[in-house]
Structure 1
């Protein structure tokens, strides 16, 4: 059995459609009313969109119901599903905590409540019956003002028991007009010893090389090998890992076929750039992390050797994985330590 590390999962897009539908029916019938039944809702929720901008609008649907009161409900089900159905040993959950605060408050009051949201998520993630190592990545947002984004960075630095890094989300085509702000925020984050990733080079409009020197990982980054392969040597030199989320590019219309990712993987491996495979929005996609690996393999996008390398990369580049080796090495140590009487033999296997 393989154990997996998930480096790129949005809290807003992590709710699988049936759980979200059940919540709507029980608690928000106004949100369920436009749909005749569950199949119609699932079709709406999971269908491909015309663009990344249209796709991101779905996050607002979930963000509106992920409140202080309901976050434990959704997170428990996320952890349970990740452990039981995905074999996750490690998961980083990313989201913009400010967008889970009450919009009835002033900006200052919402910033104060942001830290409370982070604590709620952190405590709700500690589910003893489903032991997964978890941590949070706090997302700045392209549509939020500088003061709020800076506060998010500071909260991340103040809460290392719950937070392992920061990100910038909201559509990478929106960064241009505020690039000086975002460079300043990332420089500030690094000065606070925060680990960093960023939604970057996901779409053709998301090429912002100014941010690359401040990053430890790159959220998506597929346009680097596809459109800007000259950047790959520098990415490799900085030991930056690309967080590749295969299903996302089909759902957003960024790619027309999963086979187009073969160029991404081949060029990255040839250049010595590490790649981790992720789900991004497992709920919106109705997909689980092992299936992402399986699809890439069965569609001849990656080889078995590349698959194993991506599995190892995910643990090696995880911001909060507490060990210097992956779980496979730990299990091998256990098997080597086990008394001879407990070790399987050819004879016992045959019976």
Structure 2
């Protein structure tokens, strides 16, 4: 059956939930230009439109290491309290404008201390900026709730220290932990001390795995480290020899049967070479096989994307329906690092009624 076309305004107004989105990968180009001028950092170009295009081109090399290298410029302007306050506030307002009702934003505090801020000062500034953004979004009639994930960098040795920071701020808006950075050559188990500590403190965490490295990375993240979600996870298909037949290997079966959320980011995966097309991205086949897939942006500036754009690409190129979009949104809320009653309330009071309301008032072409 051919999926009905859904107009762009309807897609924008659909309630959305994003679990995998990096703060330092989502700055507004104009803001990056202004902040770079303030701190004396040289950018590839000072024209905001040209800078946005440069990011997409540079990140689209098919190389995860080069993709990560584009963050040099955003991080350069996120070393001061003022820079962090502004980028965090604008982050929330941009989510609200995109129809996001729940988001989890992640960043690595250790990468934002070159200007003299301490790790706690970095977190305090980001939380203050996020709170300001949420207050403004609510006042504008587009409320959005944003939780924070703190990342340890997997190629460095401060993950245990960042885990302490998560525990210290878990009652101040920090909802979980992650490790980020180049995946290949830096296995999750290298940071087992941090994960063991967090499990003992009842703190949830996700792990980037199955993007640049395959099944061993996913297996370690789940069975050795104890991750509750997997960042990306596209390589789980290596354990499904025939996606059409749907016969799962034991690891893939574990992921599906235990409802472990996969934080999938189609456009980003095309840029890093983890997938070769939107139409052929594993998110569609895995959704159809009953995996708990979620749809995410990863880095909105670097990938030149939004949640509305990610939805539109799947509708236009992979035949997704409104029901498919609702499924991944519900999956994301169910897998959010929020208490059970708060997840249920978000679904009951915001997401499901929002879908019903938008669809009732929106014509389809």
Give 1:123's match in structure 2, choosing from 99, 113, 128.
Answer: 128
- Equivalent position of 2:234 in the other structure: 222
2:264 aligns to what? 244
Q: Is the 8 A contact 1:279 1:292 kept in 2?
A: yes
For residues 283 and 293 of structure 1, the distance between their equivalents in structure 2, rounded to whole angstroms, comes to 17
C-alpha displacement of 1:190: 1.0
Aligned counterparts of 1:58 and 1:334: Cα–Cα separation in 2: 39
Task: Give me the TM-score of the superposition, normalised by structure 1.
Answer: 0.83
Q: TM-score, normalised by structure 2?
A: 0.80
Instruction: Identify if the C-alpha distance between structure 1 residues 275 and 333 changes in structure 2 by more than 3 Å, giving closer, same or farther.
Output: closer
Q: Once the 2 structures are TM-superposed, how far is the Cα of residue 267 of structure 1 from its aligned partner?
A: 3.2
- Indicate the residue corresponding to 2:42 in structure 1: 31
Give the drift of 1:158. 1.6
Distance 2:205 2:353 in 1: 34
How many residues are matched? 321
2:292 to 274, 285, 289: 274
CA spacing shift, 1:126–1:43, aligned 2, 3 Å: same
Which fold has the larger relative contact order, with Cα–Cα distance below 8 Å and residues 6 or more apart in sequence? 2
Q: Which residue of 2 aligns with 1:304?
A: 322
Identify the range of structure 1 (326-335 vs 122-131) with the bigger mean alpha-carbon deviation: 326-335
| Aligned partners of 1:216 and 1:240 also within 8 Å | yes
CA RMSD after TM alignment: 2.6
1:310-329 correspondence to structure 2 within 5 Å: 310-320=328-338, 323-325=342-344, 327=346, 329=348
The one of 206, 210, 217 aligned to 1:201: 210
Partner SS for 1:320: coil
SS at match of 2:45: coil
In 2 relative to 1, CA 331–144 (structure 1 residues): closer, same or farther, beyond 3 Å? closer
Match status 1:114 vs 2:119:
yes
Q: In 2, Cα distance between the equivalents of 1:328 and 1:186? A: 29
Equivalent-residue separation in structure 1 for 2:352 and 2:283 (angstroms): 34
Residue 184 of structure 1 deviates from its aligned partner by 3.0
Shift of residue 55, structure 1, vs aligned partner: 0.3
Higher alpha-carbon Rg? 1
With 62-71 and 296-305 compared, the bigger mean Cα shift is at: 296-305
Q: Which residue of 1 aligns with 2:5?
A: none
Gaps (5+ residues) in structure 1? 105-109, 336-344, 347-351
Alignment of 1:151 with 2:164, yes or no, is no
**Alpha-carbon deviations, 1:201-227, whole Å to 9, x = none?**
012457421221301110000100245
Alignment of 1:84-99 (within 5 A): 84=97, 86-99=98-111
For residue 103 of structure 1, report the CA deviation from its aligned partner.
Answer: 6.3
